[in-house]
């Protein structure tokens, strides 16, 4: 984990500027993993090399797959599933749930032993959601706390296809199942309560895999070698969302964000912002395999809006920012059906309301979301990032339109998903 540096963010008189964000974190994890199981060299332009994706890079290297970064290009020298080798030590997932859960889908079907763990936060996060479906496909997995927490151990297994249903709408669970399904005998299907981000499906299809999606159900059959990938990775919408939120709540702001990923299963916050009447323009400039384009966000006067149901997986990582937006709106906003926020890098139901409370902004924590009164403005104060990159960036966004300096303890954690975040903040704020 990066050192717990403290940062002080001053209110900005104006927010102006244009940015190109680091590559999407979710897609970069998949670049390493799907590149590794591809047959030959995969090439990716503009990967996002934050601490989380570096953890995935380390795991892939320990499985015997080389990669190299030349300028802004990442090359992953794929070996196919059968070319992966038994790691000689425990694999390290760091702070990254995506790493551990997706890698679990690969390890479950390999003919060798492997072990994976991570930092304090990761070892506290629920793993039964991947352990159970993988076991139902024949995987031999042992995990701490009765199969619910990392470290996890994988023994050799012959997987078989299965018809599965998951209680959570989770792209990590879905991706783990798809990665196992590619190694199984017979077809697999997985039904989830709502559609979740579909980067794995899009990229596997580009590799020639037989992956089908219908509503919130995916199915996959094993197939021959997977083709290598060649992809321009778009900027991370979740990183863009910090600046979008900062701009719309600020009285004098215009921020242009270029080449941002606009996968509709990631951009639920744009739907909420439109319902709130935010002054935004969004232009999709490319479509396949991942949509991307330009977003311009300007100072806005916001009205209250509710969010829940199928919208939640489409904005799950932006929920803390939704609470900040709500605090600036005209009226009371409710975010519901988001109990899974408690299972993120921190309990984001608690840490979002605690971070904003430390700045004098009241957010009423609910078991499955927040209720937030509008018309509030952050004051200065001291916020604990709680070991969570999204909370560190939430505090910074709130500070820019607040009325006093905000000290953020543990601010360096932002580098988990957004290396260069503090430099970009300096570029935008005047």
Which of the residues 52, 259, 317, 340 is marked catalytic?
317
Work out how close the CB of 202 gets to ligand S3P at its nearest, in angstroms, rounded to a whole number.
Answer: 12
- According to DSSP, the β-strands at 149-155 and 140-143 are antiparallel
CB nearer to ligand S3P: pick between 32 and 300 = 32
Q: How far is the CB of 19 from ligand S3P (least distance, A)?
A: 21
**How far is Cα 115 from Cα 108, in angstroms, rounded to an integer?**
11
**Which of 77/129 has CB closer to ligand S3P?**
129
- Say if CB 265 and CB 47 are below 8 A apart: no
- Helices (runs of H) and strands (runs of E) counted in the chain: 14, 22
Nearer to ligand S3P, 98 or 300 (CB): 98
How far is the CA of 311 from the CAs of 102, 129, 203, in angstroms?
Answer: 23, 21, 23
Cβ proximity to ligand S3P: between 55 and 361 the closer is 55
CA distance 289 to 260: 14
Q: State in angstroms the smallest separation of the CB of 268 from ligand S3P.
A: 12
What region does 25 belong to: left with phi over 0, alpha with psi -120 to 50, or beta? Answer: alpha
Give whichever of 195 and 402 is closer to ligand S3P, judged by the CB atom.
195
Rounded least distance, CB 160 to ligand S3P, Å: 24
Minimal distance, residue 101 CB to ligand S3P, in Å:
7
Nearest distance, CB of residue 334 and ligand S3P, angstroms: 21
Q: Which residues of this chain interact with ligand S3P, rule CB under 6 A?
A: 26, 29, 98, 170-172, 175, 197, 316-317
d(CA 430, CA 423): 13
Residues 60 and 36: beta-carbon distance below 8 Å: yes
Report the nearest approach of ligand S3P to the CB of residue 1 (Å).
Answer: 17
Identity of the residue, 132 or 252, whose beta carbon is nearer to ligand S3P in the bound complex: 132
The closest of 311, 172, 191, 322 to 244, measured between CA atoms, is 322
**Beta strands per DSSP E along 221-278:** 230-232, 253-261
Tell me the three state secondary structure of residue 163.
strand
The minimum distance between CB 340 and ligand S3P, in angstroms, equals: 6
Residue pointed to by tokens 């969570």? 388
Q: Which residues pair with 45 in a beta bridge?
A: 73, 232
**Residue 348, SS3?**
helix
Contact 408, 396 (CB under 8 A): yes
Q: Is 72 a catalytic residue?
A: no
- Residue 316 CB, nearest approach to ligand S3P (Å): 5
CB atoms within 10 A of CB 420: 15
Backbone angles phi, psi at 25, to 5 degrees: -65, -50
For residue 215, give every residue at least 6 positions away whose Cβ sits within 8 Å of its Cβ, in sequence order, or none: 195
Q: What separation in angstroms does the CA of 230 have from each of 32, 35, 116, 370, 393?
A: 12, 9, 29, 41, 31
- Measured from the CB atom, the residue of 28 and 429 that comes closer to ligand S3P is 28
* CA–CA dist 291, 231 (Å, integer): 12
Of residues 46 and 348, the one with the C-beta less far from ligand S3P: 348
Nearest CB to ligand S3P, comparing residues 107 and 399 = 107
C-alpha pair distances (Å), 370 with each of 207, 306, 333: 40, 10, 8
d(CA 282, CA 246): 17
**Residue numbers annotated as active site:** 317
């Amino acid at each position: 984990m990066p050192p717990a540096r403290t940062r002080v963010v001053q209110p900005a008189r104006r927010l102006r500027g244009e940015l190109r964000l680091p590559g999407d974190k979710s897609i970069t994890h998949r670049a390493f993993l799907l590149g590794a199981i591809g047959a030959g060299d995969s090439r990716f332009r503009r990967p996002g090399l934050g601490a989380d994706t570096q953890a995935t890079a380390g795991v892939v290297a320990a499985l015997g797959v080389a990669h190299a970064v030349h300028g802004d290009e990442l090359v992953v020298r794929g070996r196919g599933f059968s070319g992966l080798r038994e790691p000689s030590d425990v694999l390290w997932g760091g702070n990254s749930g995506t790493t551990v859960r997706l890698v679990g889908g690969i390890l479950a079907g390999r003919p060798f032993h492997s072990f994976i763990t991570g930092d304090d936060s990761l070892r506290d996060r629920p793993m039964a959601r991947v352990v159970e479906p993988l076991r139902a496909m024949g995987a031999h997995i042992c995990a701490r706390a009765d199969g619910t927490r990392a470290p996890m151990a994988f023994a050799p297994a012959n997987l078989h296809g299965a018809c599965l249903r998951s209680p959570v709408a989770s792209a990590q669970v879905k991706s783990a199942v798809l990665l196992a399904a590619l190694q199984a005998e017979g077809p697999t299907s997985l039904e989830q309560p709502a559609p979740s981000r579909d980067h794995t499906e899009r990229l596997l299809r580009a590799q020639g895999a037989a992956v089908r999606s219908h509503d919130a159900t995916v199915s996959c059959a094993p197939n021959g070698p997977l083709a290598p990938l060649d992809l321009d990775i778009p900027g991370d919408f979740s990183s863009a969302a910090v600046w979008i939120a900062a701009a719309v709540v600020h009285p004098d702001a215009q921020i242009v964000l270029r080449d941002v990923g606009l996968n509709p299963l990631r951009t639920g916050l744009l739907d909420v912002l439109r319902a709130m009447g935010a002054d935004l323009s969004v232009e999709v400039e490319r479509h396949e395999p991942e949509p991307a384009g330009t977003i311009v966000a300007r100072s806005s006067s916001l009205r209250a809006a509710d969010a829940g149901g199928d919208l939640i997986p489409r904005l799950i990582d932006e929920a803390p920012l939704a609470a900040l937006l709500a605090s600036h709106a005209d009226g009371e906003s409710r975010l519901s059906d988001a109990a899974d926020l408690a299972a993120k890098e921190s309990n984001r139901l608690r840490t979002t309301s605690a971070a904003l409370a430390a700045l004098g902004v009241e957010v009423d924590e609910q078991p499955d979301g927040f209720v937030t009164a509008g018309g509030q403005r952050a004051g200065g104060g001291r916020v604990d990032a709680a070991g969570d990159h999204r909370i560190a960036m939430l505090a910074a966004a709130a500070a820019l339109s607040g009325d006093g300096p905000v000290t953020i303890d543990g601010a360096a954690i932002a580098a988990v998903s957004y290396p260069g975040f503090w430099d970009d903040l300096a570029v935008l704020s005047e």
